[in-house]
Structure 1
Amino acid sequence: MVSRKIEIMDTTLRDGEQTSGVSFSVSEKLTIAKLLLEELKVDRLEIASARVSEGELQAVKKITSWAKEHHFLENIEVLTFVDGGKSINWMLESGAKVQNLLTKGSLNHLTHQLKKTPEQHFKDIESTIELATKKDIKTNVYLEDWSNGMRNSKEYVLAYLDFLTNQKIERVLLPDTLGVLTPDETYKYVTALRERYTKLHFDFHGHNDYDLGVANVMEAVKAGVNGLHLTINGMGERAGNAPMASVIAVINDFLDNCEVNVNEKALNKVSKLVETFSGFRIPVNKPVVGANVFTQTAGIHADGDNKNNLYFNDLMPERFGRKRKYALGKTSGKANIQKNLQDLGLSLNDEELKKVTQRIIELGDKKEIVSQEDLPYIISDVLDSDTIEKRVVVENYVLGHAKGMKPSTTLQLKVEGILYEAHAQGDGQFDAFMNALKKLYKIHSKRELPKLIDYAVRIPPGSHSDALCETIITWQREEKEFITHGLDSDQTVSAIKATEKMLNII
């Protein structure tokens, strides 16, 4: 079967910018436009609405200037209005050559918003198209609220399309403006138009109010649409538009007789850039581009992947410039840890692996995810702890820190089964802990505590504020130096753990 080419029109810079709280700068719009056309390789870009603002005009000028130089000018589109030629004049000033003319696709909108008859509306549209043609501007036509038009005033929609067949237009754009269509309706309505108007080029523009955007796009393609309107990360008004990444994956994997130009490998890169510029955060579970979607958490899944890729599907992360990860935490198990060890080029024997697994489970109870970068620190801490006989235990402590008051610590220390307690203040929480410890040793032991001569804290490169901390303390006793390590998600606690190791060494 011969493949059918589906045109992809990205409207992130127009409809996507209608996301509440989002506004791209001129330079951001230009950067995104370049990336969408050159790297993602979408067929067309809808970049702005005419007559919105001076900033919007400057952005369109910048983009059209660049597009003309790089032979993309015919791929740049602007939303325009039936306004007696004002939008056309705006386009001429901006340098854009393709208008997406917003018109009424339902009798309800026409009657109550424009308060005109169909004949009056068609006459205004015809005048606008004629003026655009004279000015060498190509026209695509939006049928706003088309989905409700098909539901409630189908005769009007058909009369309008009959009229458009005699106009000099390139494409008819079919928006589900309010995101109300079901997949069955989408297929039925598009099929009806496809069979009646065999020569018209139809685009489908889906909104996601019921989370049916991708499903509706899929049915529109099956019914024969020629093009789709999508946005990066599903940005758009209200619940947003059909998301680019999900739709491209669906077309490539489930619609065998269709093809798109979009470069899958660039999807994640573009997604992250748009996230940064827009401030519109990608949910971690968003298909294809979410942070968690290629991360296995359950140990049984990692085990299955080891045995025969049992938990893989066709959505391989490498398709999108990403990599599969295996989360470390209380549900991960040995298989997840082995996967991460392989990535780091590390190996442990069965006993060591068992101990490291137990430590990660303990940490996972306090910290949702342990990163791969944390793993060497955990291994070091576990193996280091195994060499020390534990005769001294920091049983309990209370750390207090309040503004305007000195930090304080109440400490319970168990030495060979006997519990001791002390309270002290200090210049910081760890200093208060050490002062309490010195009190106990002064009262109950003839030994002197070693001198702390160096204290260093580090977290894995690229980590965030919830990272595991490794505290490395250098002690001096009788002219000899030795080092202990502590590991925890809390910096003071990691220092206390390093100190507990020191107490057992001495």
Structure 2
Amino acid sequence: MKNMETLKNENMNLSDKIYIFDTTLRDGEQTPGVALTVDEKIQIATKLNNLGVDKIEVGFPASSNAEVESAREIKSMDLDSTLVGLARSLTSDIDAVLDADLEYIHTFIGTSPLHRDYKLQMSKEKIVETAVSAVEYAKDHGLTVEFSAEDATRTERDFLFDVFNNVVDAGVDFLDIPDTVGVLTPVVTRELITDIKNNFKTPISVHFHNDFGLATANTLTAIECGANQAHVTVNGLGERTGNCSLEELVITLKVAYGIDLGLDTTRLYSLSNLVGRFTGVKMPVNKPIVGANAFAHESGIHVHGILNNSSTYEPISPEMVGHSRRIVLGKHTGANALKSKLKDYHIDLDDKQFCKVFDEIKSLGDSGKCVTDDDLIAIAITELSSARETPIVLKGLGLSSGGGVSPTATVKLEIDGVEKEAASTGVGPVDAALNAIRLLIQDTMDIELEEYNLEAITGGTDALAEVFVISSDPDGNKSTGRSTNQDIVMASILAVLDSINKLLLIKRTKIN
């Protein structure tokens, strides 16, 4: 938050050390439709390690042999991040974590009435006994143990504390509070975490889901109240609507709270893109921090401010997260934005040319089109290469086809101030229109179309068509013509007329 005080204040019970526990490879992979290969997991783990996260939950070893093998391969890379394996409170699950050669286990059991009665069908006493046995077994085998009371936020407070007291006595290293179905609000989070911190000395971890869109807000509140560790995923992936977003949490802590976790935040954007490609889950353009529009500006007022001082409309610089700023062209574009774009591409226009390009951009924006940089370049180059004088001007165009009849074009031109109209057929609408133009200019000059090139500048059905032509006359003079338009026929006609006007000016110059 540039030139502003941070939110951190003396009333917060901030931990001396805040750990980032990334569970993209475990909970993130539980996103519906997502399945990562071993190689993909290795690449993501490497990037998370290079980013500097403290812990990486590499998977759920008991779920498959492939999970064990991928955990082993990641472990063999000797990363700096601590690697974690998930396990139910079962001896067999814990053995699978040991078999994966991991040294940190995240074990869990459901504690809420819903989980006790409908999923586990266990009494409170049996829940406590199972949880304690799992912690003791894992500790006896040399593992660092984090215990999660699944659905903790819908568990009776006295029973939750009873479970925690027993696993603490069994030697647990971290107590995790999962908001399994994302029902917390910041106010309730503050009360819950404060109560737990007041009753337990064991480090507290939080694992909050995003069902109500509050995972990051709740995690920040928990940290304010003394939580020592936050579970996160890249891009906020995870079951249903996902988990607390890694990039949102890290940047908010760094910028708004002034808490530098020692992570290389310039790697966040590339990490987000990699995970997006591997999972097939594309981020919304308005996703905070890493979305395509996170640092994009179109409004003329905003762009003017950004060009003078980026802090006017950006809370952080895009470089902080490895992103880049985009000036988007469209219906809200101002002159300053367009001038900045043209300068970036070293395109110099005089005032008249600039006004024409500006009007074209506005017109395209009003039609609902988002004008890309490639569109702008094509429009500007078209204006630069257009004839300075236009003795021949298009005044009207009509097209008809179908019913087994060859396409017909009716073209109206103004030639040296006199309007003329002609109709002609052709093998297609473009050919028909060009044949009509030849009829109209036959008394003025004769031309031969030597080259015709059509290209769609960008993808999509609303792409601008760019037409480039070379025409010649009987005297051997040649000229180029160029036009951009969303209508291919119109782009073709305007390009040919541009070429004809240049030939006509050449001819008249030689005569004079």
Deviation at 1:369, TM superposition (A): 2.1
Q: Distance in 2 between matches of 1:354 and 1:420?
A: 30
Q: Which residue of 2 aligns with 1:455?
A: 452
* Number of the residue aligned with 2:392: 391
Could you say if the C-alpha distance between residues 216 and 235 of structure 1 is closer, same or farther in structure 2, counting changes exceeding 3 Å?
same
SS at match of 1:211: coil
- 2:120 aligned with 1:114, yes or no? yes
Partners in 1 of 2:365 and 2:195 — Cα distance? 56
TM-superposed deviation, 1:436: 4.1
Q: Which amino acid aligns with 1:57?
A: V
Q: Which amino acid aligns with 1:24?
A: L
Alignment of 1:359-370 (within 5 A): 359-366=360-367, 368-370=369-371
Q: Which residue is equivalent to 1:99?
A: 105
Comparing 388-397 and 213-222, the one that deviates more: 388-397
Asked if 1:414 corresponds to 2:425, the answer is: no
TM-score of the aligned structures, taking structure 1 as reference length: 0.89
d(CA) in 2 for partners of 1:155, 1:113: 21
Alignment of 1:223-372 (within 5 A): 223-256=225-258, 258-309=259-310, 311-366=312-367, 368-372=369-373
* Structure 1 match to 2:3: none
What residue number does 1:160 align with? 163
From the superposition, tell whether residues 448 and 281 of structure 1 become closer, same or farther in structure 2 (CA, over 3 Å).
Answer: same
1:58 alignment partner AA: E
Matched residue, 1:477:
473
Contact 2:422 2:436 in 1 (8 A): no
Letter in 2 for 1:79: L
1:51 match: 62
Amino acid at match of 1:59: S
Q: In 1, Cα distance between the equivalents of 2:487 and 2:319?
A: 35
Q: Secondary structure at the match of 2:423?
A: strand
Letter in 1 for 2:470: T
Name whichever of 349-358 and 160-169 sits farther off: 349-358
Mark the CA change 1:241 to 1:269 in structure 2 (over 3 Å): closer, same or farther: same
Match among 27, 35, 49 for residue 39 of structure 2: 27
1:61 equivalenced with 2:64 (yes/no): no
CA RMSD of aligned residues (A): 2.6
CA deviation string 1:240-275 (max 9, x = no partner): 11111111121112223x431322111000000011
Any conservation in 2 of the 1:50–1:79 contact (CA below 8 Å)?
yes
One-letter amino acid of the counterpart of residue 361, structure 2: I
Q: What SS does structure 1 have at the residue aligned with 2:254?
A: helix
User: In 2, distance between residues paired with 1:35 and 1:253?
Assistant: 22
What letter matches 2:359 in structure 1? Q
Per the TM alignment, residue 224 of structure 1 is displaced from its structure 2 partner at its CA by 0.6
Seen in structure 2, the aligned counterparts of structure 1 residues 112 and 475 have a Cα distance that, compared at 3 Å, is same
TM-score by length of 2: 0.88
For 1:218, the equivalent position in structure 2 comes to: 220
Deviations 1:88-116 (A, max 9, x none): 22223222222110112323322332222
C-alpha separation between the residues in 2 aligned to 1:61 and 1:490?
A: 58
CA apart distance, 1:42: 0.7
User: More displaced, 234-243 or 354-363?
Assistant: 354-363
TM-aligned CA distance change 1:12 to 1:488, over 3 Å = same
SS at match of 1:165: helix
Matches of 2:255 and 2:479 in 1, distance apart? 59
How many angstroms does 1:399 deviate by?
Answer: 7.2
What is the CA distance between 1:293 and its match in structure 2? 1.5
Alignment-derived partner of residue 145 in structure 2: 139
Whole-angstrom CA distance in 2 between matches of 1:394 and 1:131: 87
Structure 1, 335-344 or 242-251: larger mean CA deviation: 335-344
| Maintained 8 Å contact 1:12/1:236 | yes
Contact 1:334–1:354 (CA under 8 A) maintained in structure 2: no
Give the distance between the partners of 1:146 and 1:262, measured in 2 at CA.
29
Deviations 1:346-373 (A, max 9, x none): 4444443322211211232346222234
CA distance in structure 2 between the aligned counterparts of 1:82 and 1:216, rounded to whole angstroms: 27
The Cα offsets for residues 59-103 of structure 1, whole Å up to 9 and x where unpaired, read as: 22221222xx3454xx111110123x1112222322222211011
Cα gap change, 1:286 to 1:216, in 2 (>3 Å):
same
Distance apart, 1:41 and its partner CA: 1.1
C-alpha distance 345-392 of structure 1, shift in aligned 2 (>3 A) = closer
What code does the residue aligned with 2:99 have?
E
Q: Deviations over 1:176-228 (max 9, x none)?
A: 1001111100111001101111x211111111111111211111111110010
Q: Quick one: which amino acid aligns to residue 237 of structure 1?
A: E
The count of aligned residue pairs is: 487
Task: State the Cα distance separating 1:406 from its structure 2 match.
Answer: 9.1
**Ranges in structure 2 where 5+ consecutive residues have no aligned partner:** 1-9, 505-512
Tell whether the 8 Å contact from 1:5 to 1:259 is kept in structure 2 after alignment: no
Kindly provide the amino acid, as one letter, of the partner of residue 473 in structure 1.
V
For the 8 Å contact 2:482–2:499, the answer to whether it is kept is no
**Alpha-carbon separation, structure 2, partners of 1:418 and 1:347:** 34
CA distance in 2, matches of 1:400, 1:63: 64
Gaps of 5+ in 1: none
CA contact 2:472–2:479 (8 Å) conserved in 1: yes
